[in-house]
Amino acid sequence: MNLEKGLAIFLTGQIEGSNPLKFEIKKLETVDGMLPKFHQWSNGKQVLAAYEVIRPETEQGYYLLFIDWHRSNNYYLVIYARDKSTTCAEIREIQELADSPHLVWSYKPFKRDGKNEQRKAYFKQMFGSTTVHIKLPSSPMEVENFLTQLFKLCQNRVKADKITEVFDFEN
């Protein structure tokens, strides 16, 4: 099942009602339901809400956009790197697991260097699978864990993407 608008609105409500200890959340201003001058990939698309989320302890941060990514009335949680250079994850799939909805995201690298299998193997080793399930917060109290899991997903994705720079797989 996809991230429908109603569920996306519910999620933004949980985030806005939360006060996580480990994160600072700043809501970004939208104009007519859009996020002007944010990034060329998001310009002109409907955005329910967007946030800059920072973990002050590590100074790490990401932008979370609840956006109609393909202008098809299907919403995505799109996570941008803090420098806005790229997306870390584009998540739209929802699955019911253990009686609660979870975001589902699969690591599928598309680099053009012939080393994507090594990246997938590394990601699987780090996470136990190339598919990640993140429980949706059912209350503002659960938002901190939700954000922690999103940060972990993004960090591991970036590590896996760069693993071929760390190890020489040729020899």
Tell me, yes or no, if the pTM score tops 0.75. yes
Per-residue pLDDT, 170: 55
Distance (Å, whole) CA 39 – CA 61: 16
CA dihedral sign, ordered 154, 156, 161, 166: positive
H/E element holding 130?
A: none
Per-residue pLDDT, 90: 96
Tens digit of each residue's pLDDT, the chain (171 residues): 899 999 999 999 999 999 999 999 999 999 999 999 999 999 999 999 999 999 999 999 999 999 999 998 889 999 999 999 999 999 999 999 988 999 999 999 998 999 999 999 999 998 899 999 999 999 999 999 999 999 999 999 999 999 877 665 554
Distance (Å, whole) CA 137 – CA 147: 9
